């Protein structure tokens, strides 16, 4: 890793809903993922609403010590809104807030920098009942929640993200319905896409109102759309549209306060809804850093009739790339992380960038020797990290890299059967944690990068 500065931040990430567990313990309010868990078939492995996550709340000290043993410089986590404010408005829950005090203090005691995300998909159910993210009132409530969190933790947490992967929230949650709240309606998805951009502006302003010195950004799953094979003019036009959905809507909206005209036009044509960029608000408070979550390129081929997830496309279809697939079926595109980082830094040269998530799903379990030999994860990470280093060397202002995920956990619509963790969790045996071979390799990489 020679060539990276010594203060480069090596980390790992998780999110509240994926590790903390359900509302049944009585410790937190309900969220939209609890509700989706009650819909038969919505979670592929049959996990219901009341799962215990990986009992991270109960095993906090164990997990903090694992992070220390792995020599992490930083830990990215999210706050469960319904844990700190059970219904998303009104009274805050002291017990829930005290949990995050313990987490943050435990990190700082171990010299691990906290990186906090306010919204990683667990919207309080009561807010969905009033329209969820389509309702501008929810944006105001998000601002109140953000201000409260900032006044509580802003003295100890320097890195803040308003939200994680809003593209998934809008489109997977409200057009395909595979994510909570499980809606399948284009106008709803468009409204949500607009209000989430507003929520970033509003939330970052609220964070800074309480803690002016912290660094605020957003975490997006940006991508490099690619065409496999010959491309027609029509295909290239479609690729631009995909770029609009995945990249430009969020980056221009959240970091510039502007919407891409082509997308505004598509939304208006398809739904009659005009997204007015004048409603976004002041974005100047939330552009201290850029978080990139990257797993694979969006790959297409011609000869199709358009992709339903990207309304307005007419000639492309989804395609794979190369021969390697993770256990999620996702292609390996390590060069793409470099391409995407370079594109971000060309557009926003003054804003530092973090890879806020990168990782792979391989479902290896313990072998007879008791170890977890996840050689494919190791190989995948080596290639992707190498590509990040190349991006840095070519001038990208890359400050850190967070591996997804610290722990095997609740992989949303897949339930617990898809494992992204560096640390294996035995869901059937006391949630026992065992670092995989890739975790030990990552630890060695971090240690050697400080020499
Ligand atoms: C991105 C999401 O932020 C995270 O929650 C999820 O587990 C990973 N992608 C893997 O799908």
Give per-residue pLDDT as tens, 282-301: 999 999 999 999 999 999 99
Beta bridge partners of 425: 433
Q: What is the spatial distance between Cα 81 and Cα 28, in angstroms, rounded to a whole number? A: 9
263 Cα to the center of ligand 1, angstroms? 25
Beta bridge partners of 432: 426
Q: Determine the length of the chain.
A: 451
Q: Which protein residues are within 6 Å of ligand 1, measured from CB?
A: 15, 18, 164-165, 293, 357, 404, 411, 420
Atom of ligand 1 nearest to the CA of 359: 10
Tens-place pLDDT, residues 44-54: 998 887 789 99
Tokens of 239: 């690729």
User: Is residue 23 very low, low, confident or very high in pLDDT (cuts 50, 70, 90)?
Assistant: confident
**Cα angle value 122/127/128 (rounded, 5°):** 75
CATH number of 9-449: 3.20.20.80
Looking at the chain, the whole-number percentage of residues with pLDDT higher than 90 is 96
Q: What is the spatial distance between Cα 196 and Cα 139, in angstroms, rounded to a whole number? A: 8
Tokens of 114: 């906290």
Q: How far is CA 58 from the centre of its chain?
A: 24
Atom of ligand 1 nearest to the CA of 409: 7
- Is residue 360 within 8 A of residue 296, CB to CB? The reply is no
Average pLDDT over residues 20-24: 79
Atom of ligand 1 nearest to the CA of 15: 5
User: Is residue 25 very low, low, confident or very high in pLDDT (cuts 50, 70, 90)?
Assistant: confident
Is 61 among the catalytic positions? no
The predicted pLDDT at position 168 comes to 98
Mutate to test the pocket of ligand 1, among 161, 165, 218, 402 (most ligand atoms within 8 A of CB): 165
Average pLDDT over residues 290-313: 98
User: Which positions ≥6 away from 177 have C-beta within 8 Å?
Assistant: 183, 184
307 Cα to the center of ligand 1, angstroms? 22
Atom of ligand 1 nearest to the CA of 411: 7
Phi, psi of 322 (to 5 degrees): 65, -160
15 Cα to the center of ligand 1, angstroms? 9
Q: Given the structure tokens 């009739």, which residue do they identify?
A: 305
Give the residue from 362, 363, 397, 358 showing the smallest Cα distance to 381. 358
- Residue of 55, 126, 165, 411 marked catalytic: 165
Alpha helices in 156-247 (DSSP H): 166-167, 173-174, 186-210, 233-243
- Residue of 20, 126, 357, 411 marked catalytic: 357
293 Cα to the center of ligand 1, angstroms? 8
- Is residue 361 within 8 A of residue 419, CB to CB? The reply is yes
Q: What is the mean pLDDT of the chain?
A: 97
User: Is residue 1 very low, low, confident or very high in pLDDT (cuts 50, 70, 90)?
Assistant: low
Q: What is the spatial distance between Cα 263 and Cα 107, in angstroms, rounded to a whole number? A: 42
Cα distances (angstroms) measured from residue 396 to each of 63, 167, 224, 225, 387: 32, 24, 16, 20, 12
Query: Per-domain residue ranges for the chain?
Result: 9-449
For the chain, the 3-state helix, strand and coil shares in percent, each to the nearest 5, are 45, 15, 40
Q: Would the pLDDT of 81 be above 80?
A: yes
The predicted pLDDT at position 21 comes to 81
- Is residue 304 within 8 A of residue 349, CB to CB? The reply is no
Q: What is the spatial distance between Cα 340 and Cα 231, in angstroms, rounded to a whole number? A: 21
Average pLDDT over residues 414-437: 97
Closest protein CA for atom 7 of ligand 1: 411
Q: What is the spatial distance between Cα 146 and Cα 20, in angstroms, rounded to a whole number? A: 20
The predicted pLDDT at position 8 comes to 97
Average pLDDT over residues 374-399: 98
User: Is residue 236 very low, low, confident or very high in pLDDT (cuts 50, 70, 90)?
Assistant: very high
SS3 387: helix
Provide the terminal-to-terminal Cα distance of the chain, rounded to the nearest Å: 11
Tens-place pLDDT, residues 143-176: 999 999 999 999 999 999 999 999 999 999 999 9
The predicted pLDDT at position 451 comes to 83
Average pLDDT over residues 201-213: 98
User: Which positions ≥6 away from 314 have C-beta within 8 Å?
Assistant: 234, 238, 305, 306
Phi, psi of 74 (to 5 degrees): -150, 155
SS3 424: strand
Looking at the chain, the whole-number percentage of residues with pLDDT higher than 70 is 99
Tens-place pLDDT, residues 247-280: 999 999 999 999 999 999 999 999 999 999 999 9
Q: Are strands 299-301 and 317-318 parallel, antiparallel or unpaired?
A: antiparallel
Helix and strand counts by DSSP (H, E) for the chain: 16, 13
Average pLDDT over residues 113-124: 99
296 Cα to the center of ligand 1, angstroms? 12
282 Cα to the center of ligand 1, angstroms? 28
- Is residue 380 within 8 A of residue 332, CB to CB? The reply is yes
User: Which positions ≥6 away from 84 have C-beta within 8 Å?
Assistant: 92, 93, 96, 97, 100, 145, 148, 149
Is 357 among the catalytic positions? yes
Give the residue from 162, 169, 314 showing the smallest Cα distance to 237. 314
Mutate to test the pocket of ligand 1, among 293, 330, 356 (most ligand atoms within 8 A of CB): 293
Half-sphere exposure of 338 (CA within 13 A, CB side): 16
Atom of ligand 1 nearest to the CA of 404: 8
Sign of the CA dihedral running 358, 364, 370, 371: negative
Q: In the 8-state DSSP scheme, what is residue 423?
A: E
Q: What is the spatial distance between Cα 307 and Cα 301, in angstroms, rounded to a whole number? A: 11
Q: What is the spatial distance between Cα 102 and Cα 194, in angstroms, rounded to a whole number? A: 35
Tokens of 416: 């617990």
């Amino acid at each position: 890793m020679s060539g990276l500065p010594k203060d480069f931040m090596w980390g790992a990430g998780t999110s509240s809903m994926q590790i903390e567990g359900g509302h049944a313990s009585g410790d937190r309010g309900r969220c939209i993922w609890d509700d989706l868990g009650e819909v038969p078939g919505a979670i592929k492995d049959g996990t219901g609403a009341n799962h215990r996550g990986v009992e991270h709340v109960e095993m906090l000290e164990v997990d903090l010590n694992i992070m220390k043993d792995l020599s992490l410089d930083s830990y990215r986590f999210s706050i469960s809104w319904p844990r700190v404010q059970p219904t998303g408005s009104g009274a805050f829950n002291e017990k829930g807030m005290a949990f995050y005090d313990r987490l943050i203090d435990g990190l700082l005691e171990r010299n691990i920098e906290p990186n906090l995300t306010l919204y990683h998909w667990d919207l309080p159910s009561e807010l969905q009942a009033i329209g969820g993210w389509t309702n501008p009132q929810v944006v105001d409530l998000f601002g109140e929640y953000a201000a409260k969190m900032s006044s509580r933790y802003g003295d100890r947490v320097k890195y803040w993200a308003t939200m994680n992967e809003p593209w998934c929230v809008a489109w997977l949650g409200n057009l395909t319905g595979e994510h909570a709240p499980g809606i399948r309606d284009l106008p709803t998805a468009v409204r949500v896409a607009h209000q989430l951009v507003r929520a970033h502006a509003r939330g970052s302003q609220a964070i800074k109102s309480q803690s002016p010195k912290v660094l605020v950004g957003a975490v997006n799953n940006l991508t490099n759309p690619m065409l496999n094979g010959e491309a027609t003019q029509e295909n290239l036009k479609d690729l631009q549209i995909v770029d609009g959905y995945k990249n430009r809507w969020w980056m221009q909206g959240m970091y510039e306060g502007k919407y891409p005209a082509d997308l505004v036009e598509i939304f208006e044509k398809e739904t009659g809804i005009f997204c007015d960029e004048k409603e976004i608000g002041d974005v100047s408070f939330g552009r201290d850093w850029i978080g990139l979550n990257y797993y694979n390129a969006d790959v297409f081929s011609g000869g199709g009739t358009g992709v339903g997830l990207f309304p307005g496309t007419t000639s492309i279809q989804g395609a794979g790339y190369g021969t390697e697939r993770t256990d999620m079926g996702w292609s390996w595109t390590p060069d793409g992380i470099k391409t995407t980082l370079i594109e971000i830094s060309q557009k926003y040269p003054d804003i530092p960038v973090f890879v806020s998530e990168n990782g792979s799903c391989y479902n290896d379990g313990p072998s007879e020797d008791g170890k977890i030999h996840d050689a494919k994860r190791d190989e995948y990470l080596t290639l992707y990290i190498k590509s990040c280093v190349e991006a840095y060397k070519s001038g990208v202002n890359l400050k850190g890299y967070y591996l997804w995920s610290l722990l095997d956990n609740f992989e949303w619509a897949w339930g617990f059967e898809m494992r992204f963790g560096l640390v294996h969790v035995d869901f059937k045996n006391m949630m026992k944690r065992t670092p995989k071979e890739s975790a030990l390799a990552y630890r060695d990489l971090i240690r050697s990068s400080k020499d």
